[in-house]
Amino acid sequence: MTASLSCRAERVHRRAGRPKAPAAVLVTDERRLPDPRPVLPALPRGARVVLRAYGDPTRAGAVVAAARRRRIGVILALAAPRLPPLPRDLAGIHLPQGRACRGLMAGVLLWRRAAAGRSLSMAAHDGRALARARALRLTFVLLSPVFPTRSHPGAPALGPLRATLLARTSQVPVLALGGITPTTAARLPPRPWSGLAALESWTKNRGVRGGPASPPSLPLPFPLPLPPEENMEKLDSPG
């Protein structure tokens, strides 16, 4: 499964023609995948790992070192208003939608500008977040949840049609997240997506113990209602 997802992500990325955005992203989870190092061999070169280590961001150093040997960049997810000590070779910072839309951004923006090649990305669940990403000139966004995911049982998914319409409005590269497998990714139109992001689809067949698998993707009504804004932060964990 991981090989076919990598191939599909690379095809999506080539069609998009946006080389600064990654083709493939592994989004970790503090409960299901706190240490992504066993999964790194499943990722293609040039992939990114969004490391969610809110409880102990100092863990990022070991992950950065392991990923660098495979030419994979590590992006640290941050929710706190202040920057913790960051590894020198960190590839980027990833922000929840609420943090990016309402938080103080000066420290994050200064960190990004301090060295060439650093990325800044955010989670997005609606058009407002995509507009904010454009204003901040972000490297890419993770739009979610595109498909149903057991990370958030009962939460409404955008569905492939609505998610694609949102992605087409974005001036920033958009990667699909939430219930992404080779099968569900095939339901996404070839454009305007720049890549694919997932958790469980990368961990399968790698002997990594994770949480329950994502449910099978079913046809979704269009359009679907979005959750209230105050619930958006709950959707920022991976699918």
CATH of the domain at 138: 3.20.20.70
What's at 54, amino acid-wise? Y
CA distance 41 to 28: 15
Task: Say what the pLDDT of residue 206 is.
Answer: 60
Residue 216 lies in a domain: no
Q: Is the pTM of this model over 0.75?
A: yes
Range of the domain at 69: 2-106+121-204
Consecutive 10-residue averages of pLDDT for the chain (239 residues): 86 90 96 95 96 88 97 95 91 95 87 96 97 97 94 86 97 97 93 95 67 40 38 54
pLDDT value of position 158: 97
**pLDDT at residue 237, rounded to an integer:** 57
The answer to whether 92 touches 139, Cβ cutoff 8 Å, is yes
Residue 212 inside a domain? The answer is no
Q: Under DSSP, is residue 20 helix (H, G, I), strand (E, B) or coil?
A: coil
Q: Is residue 113 part of a domain?
A: no
| Domain membership flag for residue 26 | yes
CB 72 within 8 A of CB 40: yes
Domain-located, residue 226: no
Q: Is the separation of the CB atoms in 26 and 39 below 8 Å?
A: yes
Residue with tokens 């200064």: 110
Predicted local distance difference test score (pLDDT) of residue 224: 35
Q: How would you label 100-138 residue by residue, b for 16+ Cβ within 10 Å and e otherwise?
A: bbebebeebeebbeeeeebbbbbbbbeeebbbbbeebeb
User: Where do runs of H (alpha helix) occur along the chain?
Assistant: 2-16, 60-68, 97-102, 106-113, 127-136, 160-168, 182-185, 200-203
User: Is 15 within a domain?
Assistant: yes
CB atoms under 10 Å from CB of 222, counted, come to 11
Instruction: Work out how many domains the chain is built from and give that number.
Output: 1
In a domain, 90, yes or no: yes
27 falls within a domain: yes
